[in-house]
Homo-oligomer: A and B are copies of this chain.
């Protein structure tokens, strides 16, 4: 039987360690906790060849996920999403090796399913019965969905301007959910007060340690899909940044067990010009970001004025010789159309922003034509009906084309 090598929890800021088998939220110092594994034992027992016979979900990396017992796994078949070549777009715009990791092909239609699957599984294992969280939409939809499957009660709060389709996921799965006249940071404050008052589990971004473990599987999958040769550049649309932190963590874990070599991809944090706190911090060489006032972008999922894990995002970018870059909404919409028309990939605005960024970075010479470049598309464009302008003629049955 395959078992988890889960060892303990550790604060990346003050290095305090915590027991992984009792419920934990943040470190007493206020920083998010990271999950640690017995990577030495993992290195001596895990073999790449074993993966071939496992199911095409993120649970194929069972040993490096934090769930102890199989019976606690709450799954809807998430993970092992397609890695697509984009040959026509690449040829048109001068990328010789352009790829899209398509997180639209996953339950709930967004990469948030990964964090929810692993986060909810572990919450179930540790006896959580009620959780609460703020969300920009997709995370709430995903956590409500997996909570329903687990039989856990969920309270979800999202901004009134979050994508309306994500409301459906919360409503139909029976979550107790609310809108707030404000940003995700306002929703977060309401959740904070409720958690204190009622003793619920706080499932806010990085306030529990396990969501990142789900997200990191994007890094494992990319390494496996590139046959354990990592690409040169990964562009990631960065709001809370958990995916980027997770991918970096995954790559370090793969190095530790000897499955990949020294080389790491350069990680790029892509933000919108209307909300770019990480970019600002990176340009100033800072280790943390400053709250971004009046945040606004059509790439709603990355409207995060100040991320709790900003220092981890910046660390990942600095340590991989990556960068942070902001793109405007117009460039994002152009990129979304171009991806769809040339490659049939209907990505979400956040995913499209990564291609707008790739174009800028190639113009600057930061991306070379021969680089293996991965755009991380965090969700399907289907969930954002209002970002596509449709003009269409209506025919009568007797009309001809």
Chain A residues near B (Cβ < 8 Å): 52-53, 56-57, 75-77, 80-84, 88, 102, 104-109, 132, 145-151, 155, 157, 160, 164-165, 167-169, 171-174, 177-182, 186, 189-190, 193-194, 197-198, 336-337, 340-346, 380-383, 385, 388-397, 399-401
Q: List, in ascending order, chain B residues with CB within 8 A of A173's CB.
A: 340-341, 344, 346
* Distance (whole angstroms) from the CB of A228 to the closest CB of chain B: 15
* CB-contact partner of A149 in B57, B180, B343, under 8 A: B343
Q: A193-B400, A401-B190 are in contact. Are A167 and B390 (CB under 8 A)?
A: yes
State whether A155 touches B401 (Cβ < 8 A).
yes
Q: A180-B396, A382-B165 are in contact. Are A105 and B102 (CB under 8 A)?
A: no
State whether A342 touches B148 (Cβ < 8 A).
yes
Q: List, in ascending order, chain B residues with CB within 8 A of A343's CB.
A: 148-149
Q: List, in ascending order, chain B residues with CB within 8 A of A160's CB.
A: 394
Q: List, in ascending order, chain B residues with CB within 8 A of A77's CB.
A: 81-84, 102, 105
Q: A82-B107, A341-B172 are in contact. Are A178 and B76 (CB under 8 A)?
A: no
Identical copies of this chain, number: 2
Q: List, in ascending order, chain B residues with CB within 8 A of A382's CB.
A: 108-109, 165, 168-169, 380, 382-383
Q: List, in ascending order, chain B residues with CB within 8 A of A193's CB.
A: 400-401
* Distance (whole angstroms) from the CB of A224 to the closest CB of chain B: 11
- How far is B343's CA from A149's CA once the two chains are assembled, in angstroms? 4
State whether B392 touches A190 (Cβ < 8 A).
no
* CB-contact partner of A165 in B385, B395, B396, under 8 A: B385
Q: List, in ascending order, chain B residues with CB within 8 A of A388's CB.
A: 168, 171-172
* CB-contact partner of A169 in B157, B189, B346, under 8 A: B346
Q: List, in ascending order, chain B residues with CB within 8 A of A80's CB.
A: 56
Residue of B nearest to A341 (CB): B174
* CB-contact partner of A190 in B148, B171, B178, B395, under 8 A: B395
Can you show 23 pairs from A to B with CB atoms below 8 A apart? Answer: A56-B80, A76-B82, A76-B102, A76-B105, A77-B84, A104-B107, A146-B344, A147-B344, A149-B343, A157-B395, A168-B390, A171-B388, A171-B389, A172-B341, A178-B401, A179-B392, A179-B393, A181-B395, A182-B396, A190-B397, A190-B400, A193-B401, A197-B400
* Distance (whole angstroms) from the CB of A181 to the closest CB of chain B: 6
Q: List, in ascending order, chain B residues with CB within 8 A of A401's CB.
A: 132, 155, 178, 190, 193-194, 197-198
State whether B395 touches A164 (Cβ < 8 A).
no
- How far is B186's CA from A399's CA once the two chains are assembled, in angstroms? 10
* Distance (whole angstroms) from the CB of A329 to the closest CB of chain B: 16
